[in-house]
Amino acid sequence: MSPTIRSPFGSRAEAAVAIAFAVAAVAGLCLLIVYALGGQTQIEGVLLMLSLGGIAVGIVVWGHELLPDHELVEERGPLATPSADEDDPTATVVREGITRRRALLRMLGAAFGGLAAALAIPLLSLGPAPGSSLFETPWKRGLRLVGPDGAPVNADDLPVDGVLTVFPEGFPGSADGQTLLIRVDPSLLELPPDRTAWAPDGYIAYSKVCTHAGCPVALYRANIHSLICPCHQSTFDVLRGAVPTFGPAVRPLPQLPIQRQPDGTFVALGDFPAPIGPSFWNVHSGSNG
């Protein structure tokens, strides 16, 4: 007597797998909804547990209960194809097994879809791409140089070898706009030819944000015309375009193009020609714009 072929699928096991995958899918979607509504850490943790746990339980039950764990040897019969499924008593069983298997695979796909929705939360938390904002400061052409109080800086306010922290007009106190205005003997300057005009009458402006770690470059040694960062002792030569001469900084402080006005005030001719601050975005060592 030939053995009776039965589908290895059990109804309770199938239901358990389907329920587990459904719980995982719903939990993942609910997690995304909770996050979109403002988030709640405890609820998000429970939902993530249900999403991962549902997938795990469904796969384990499927493997243990729905997959055959024994080998079947079938006698090789005639190679001719039966004329119709009605001639094969096992066709209905096989067809039903395939249908149920496809349904469970769809449920598994839905479960992973819910998990993918949950895993999208860290990506959403990153916020919008910064775009070109890392390369821009508040400085724009025509903005006057002002002090911390917002009042325009006058050339007479700064003696030779003096230094003053200035900001773009309308942005006093801005972290990325803070700039050092220094007055030196113009005959001592050794700037590149295309930047000589940016230092009218020996007034020269450099970003105050150190190109090593972003600390404010707050010390100026007039006797050697050097700016010094107090954090890691990076030293910059004011006369030669603020190139680093000591310490870990490898990039000059960007020079702000400025112009002296007839009334003695100063205006910017544009933004810094190079990114300010630490060199951790698309900036190579030694680049000066």
The tens digit of pLDDT for each residue in 88-116 reads 555 454 455 546 667 777 777 777 777 77
Task: Detail the DSSP E strand segments found in 68-172.
Answer: 145-146, 163-168
Round to whole Å and give the CA distance between 107 and 142: 63
Based on its alpha-carbon atoms, the radius of gyration of the chain, rounded to whole angstroms, reads 36
Tell me the average pLDDT of the chain: 80
Please report how the helices 41-61 and 91-125 are oriented relative to each other, as an axis angle in degrees rounded to 10: 160
- Please give the single-letter amino acid code of residue 284: H
Whether 206 and 180 have beta carbons less than 8 Å apart is answered as: yes
Superfamily for domain range 136-268: Rieske [2Fe-2S] iron-sulphur domain (2.102.10.10)
The tens digit of pLDDT for each residue in 210-237 reads 999 899 998 999 999 999 999 999 999 9
Q: Is the pLDDT of residue 128 over 60?
A: yes
If one counts every other C-beta atom within 10 angstroms of the C-beta of residue 116, the result is 12
Round to whole Å and give the CA distance between 135 and 133: 5
Q: Which of 8, 3, 136, 137 is nearest to 62 (CA)?
A: 8
The tens digit of pLDDT for each residue in 231-273 reads 999 999 999 999 999 999 999 999 999 999 999 999 999 999 9
Model confidence at 5, pLDDT cuts 50, 70, 90, reads very low
Q: Is the pLDDT of residue 12 over 60?
A: yes
Round to whole Å and give the CA distance between 228 and 247: 9
Who wins on pLDDT, 135 or 130? 135
Who wins on pLDDT, 2 or 158? 158
Q: Which residues are registered as beta bridge partners of 163?
A: 182
Model confidence at 286, pLDDT cuts 50, 70, 90, reads very low
Whether 255 and 242 have beta carbons less than 8 Å apart is answered as: yes
Pairing of strands 258-260, 243-246: unpaired
**43: Cβ–Cβ under 8 A, 6 or more apart, which residues?**
34
Q: Is the pLDDT of residue 6 over 50?
A: no
